[in-house]
Amino acid sequence: MPKPSHLSVLGVAKEVTPGTAVAAAKWIPFKTLTPKDDVNLIQDTGMRGSVVDTYGMFAGQKGAELDLGGDVFADTIGWPLVSVLPDLTTTGASAPFSHAMSTLNTGDTQPPSQTWTIFDPLGTWQYAGAQFSEVGFKWNADGLFEWSGKAMSWAYTTTTSPTPSFTSTPPVANWNIIVNIGGTPTFVQDGELTIKRNVTAIRGSAGTQNPYRIWTGDISVEGKATLVMETNTQRTNFQSATIQSFDVSYTQGAGASQNGVQLHCSQVAFTEGTPSYGKEYIELPISFTAIANTTDAGTSAGYSPIKATLSNAVTSGTYK
């Protein structure tokens, strides 16, 4: 008989050794989750005097890709974010703590390796060595602030059934999202901001089907938003290639329960800014690309196109 998908849960934890699975430290509510297992079969095509092309199939190297997402929680979103922005600085003597994340420009520049665990009615599946290639955010007039991500990992392994527990931090309604463009609060009908990072599985001959390492490279940030065009200001900024800042943020709660997210790009350039006359009012859909700068860099200095800051009750040393 079919197995109910709504009984499935998703967990995550940082690893001590990349590729060595660990038990989930936090369970994350999700809306979308698709693990793609890469088997990479090898064909035997050596000719044997017959008009066929395949004489055998053999197991090749393995891996997996995770496509996942859900509502933004100011504590659990830290795990996907630190995988693309691993320069992490945590401040505060007690909750709420502040976690500032940006591009890591020292050492091997790599984020912490993670194990993502799927616990469903058929078993418990651990995807070790995971690194994110993309973490995106979306907001509009309705619903909750959402995120989505793509990660590459080693092939899954199985383990014993865990006991999940979930965050008490609430998600946030989209109406509470504040957008600032050039430091000015700006009404936005809908928007997206996506952080991307090149990810490569380093493969070779070492007596294992798993990669040597999941390796991450350069970071980029892009986004788009739909504005109500009340003035020509942003259209002019597009035409004149004016560089300005772009912020997406929210804060909720008070005292030790205060939580929030800020995505700050000190420098963005509009790549699109053409008016749309399809409704009873004029809209201005914009697209932008963030420019690496020293202001958004963290303690590792150098340049970063974005700084993400979380406010929550998560203590130092948890994400990384």
Q: What is the DSSP string of 250-317?
A: EEE--GGG-EEEEEEEEEEEEEEE--B-SSSS-EEEEEEEE--BSTT--TT-S-BS-EEEEEESPPTT
Give the chain's residues under pLDDT 70: none
Give the pLDDT of residue 44.
94
Would you give the DSSP letter of residue 144?
Answer: B
Give the pLDDT of residue 205.
87
Nearest Cα residue to 132 out of 117, 144, 116, 146: 116
Q: What is the DSSP string of 167-227?
A: --S---BGGG-EEEETTEE--EEEEEEEEEEEEEEE---SS-SS-SEEEEEEEEEEEEEEE
Q: Are 299 and 307 in contact (CB under 8 A)?
A: no
Give the pLDDT of residue 262.
98
Give the pLDDT of residue 3.
83
Give the pLDDT of residue 260.
98
- H or E segment to which residue 84 belongs: helix 78-84
pTM of the model: 0.95
Q: Are 223 and 236 in contact (CB under 8 A)?
A: no
277 token code pair = 């006359």
Nearest Cα residue to 26 out of 92, 113, 116: 116
Give the pLDDT of residue 2.
87
Q: Are 66 and 83 in contact (CB under 8 A)?
A: no
Q: What does the domain layout of the chain look like in residue ranges?
A: 7-40+61-312
